[in-house]
Amino acid sequence: MILFAVVIAAVIAVDQISKILVVQNMEELESVDLIPHVFRLTYIHNEGAAFGMLSDHRWVFMVISTIALLALTVYLYRSRKDSKWFTIPLSLIIGGGVANMIDRIRLNYVVDFCDFYLFPFWKWIFNIADACVVVGAMIIIVYLLIRLIREFRKKGAQGTGDAQNAPTEPIPAAGPESDAGEETYADAQPSETEEPGPESESGSEPETEEEKKQPEDGPAGEDPEDPEQDA
């Protein structure tokens, strides 16, 4: 938090010193060219928001600005461990808001003097506090966009890695038998509940050599070559 406090204090100090110098050395509505046809100092009193907006609703804007500054300060404290690319720009915004709030409370208006007139459409005059608010907001927007893009890429990389690491089961190639409507490998396996065939019903064991020779010899005790038995 010390770094954030230093940034906020530096913005307030630079802004207030620059305004004091302008007020002491220039008359209202006076202009001094610093870069011809590009940039000049033009001292005006701004009773509205940044760049002269809401000049007819000064008190409404002061209430909104006070609430916003308090909310940003609390948020900065809670996110103090976040990236410096987020917290330091947020400190710039808070410092610029506080600096302009000091003018409104002390003078009932804000001293503006930065006047870019390079482009015909640019007609707003601002101060250092306004510049800090705008620059801080732009840095935060860029930072959030970059972080969002990185998160999307990280999720996409994780999804691709999970898809590549997922186990895949081999699919058997279709052969002639499967094309002809033959039974599959699972169907061809013998089932435990399959009914026994004729051989298994008889329950007989394989015949021995003597049993196989018995029909040739005839009934036991008879000799086909004995003449007495033929008579």
The residue-averaged pLDDT of 145-174 equals: 72
**pTM for the full model?**
0.62
Active site amino acids: 112, 130
What is the tens place of the pLDDT at every residue in 74-121? Answer: 888 888 787 888 889 999 999 999 999 999 888 888 999 999 888 888
The percentage of residues in the chain with a pLDDT greater than 90, rounded to a whole number, is 36
Predicted pLDDT at 55: 56
With 90 as the cut, is the pLDDT of residue 140 above it?
yes
25-49 pLDDT, tens digit each: 999 999 999 999 899 999 999 876 5
Query: What pLDDT is recorded for position 75?
Result: 86
50-to-47, 86, 164 alpha-carbon distances in Å = 9, 22, 54
- Residue 230 has a pLDDT of 44
- Comparison of pLDDT for 169 and 102, the residue scoring more: 102
Percent of the residues in the chain that have a pLDDT greater than 70, as a whole number? 63
pLDDT at position 228: 46
